[in-house]
């Protein structure tokens, strides 16, 4: 076995298969095993994130400037996990220690989207999906 191999242990049969893989004498000694709980975010969740961040980046002035969607992503993930900011290497810079959205579970990602929607509503940004507007008009 080479490269990355991901296995979701949804039932006893899959757990037994994982045990067989671990017990395989041909398994290299430098193999890394990682356990994670929860399903990863969905493609639909990810597709929803960027339009929200883009809309906020265009409509919300934050402390005298308009931020990029990526900047807003950092702000919202920090709010989601209540991250800490530490001084950076360069004098006068701060770095937010955060979590990548790609490592979030579906539940965590859903919570993140809720934070973004609440922020948008509090700042007068209409984050209604254009598809919902069309359906409601029909």
Residue/partner pairs of 121-125 with CB below 8 Å, 24 or more apart: 123/56, 123/59, 123/60, 124/59, 125/55, 125/56, 125/59, 125/60
Tell me the per-residue pLDDT of 90-138, one tens digit each, with 9 for 90 and over: 999 988 876 688 888 888 899 999 999 999 999 999 998 766 655 565 5
Please state the pTM of the whole predicted model.
0.62
- Angstrom distance (rounded) from CA 136 to CA 34: 45
Q: What is the pLDDT of residues 61-101, one digit of tens each?
A: 999 999 999 999 989 988 887 778 889 999 999 888 766 88
Asked whether 98 and 85 are in contact (CB, 8 A), the reply is no
| Cα atoms found within 13 Å of the Cα of residue 107, Cβ hemisphere only | 3
Distance from C-alpha of 79 to C-alpha of 22, rounded to nearest angstrom: 38
Backbone φ and ψ of 115, nearest 5°: -60, -45
At 130, which helix (H) or strand (E)?
helix 130-137
φ and ψ at residue 41, rounded to 5 degrees: -55, 155
- As a residue count, the chain comes to 138
Structural domains of the chain, with CATH: 43-137 (1.10.3790.10)
- How far apart CA 38 and CA 8 sit, in angstroms, is 10
More confident residue, 48 or 82: 48
């Amino acid at each position: 076995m080479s490269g990355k191999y991901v296995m979701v242990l949804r039932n006893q049969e899959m757990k037994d298969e994982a045990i067989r893989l671990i017990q395989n004498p041909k398994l290299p000694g430098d193999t890394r095993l990682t356990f994670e709980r929860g399903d990863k975010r969905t493609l639909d969740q990810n597709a929803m994130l960027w339009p929200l961040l883009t809309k906020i980046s265009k409509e919300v002035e934050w402390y005298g400037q308009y931020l990029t969607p990526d900047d807003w992503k950092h702000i919202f993930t920090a709010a989601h996990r209540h991250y800490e900011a530490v001084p950076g290497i360069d004098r006068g810079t701060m770095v937010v220690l955060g979590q990548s959205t790609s490592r979030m579970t579906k539940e965590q990602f859903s919570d993140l989207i809720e934070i973004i929607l609440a922020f948008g509503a509090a700042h007068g940004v209409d984050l209604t999906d254009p598809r919902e507007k069309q359906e409601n008009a029909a």
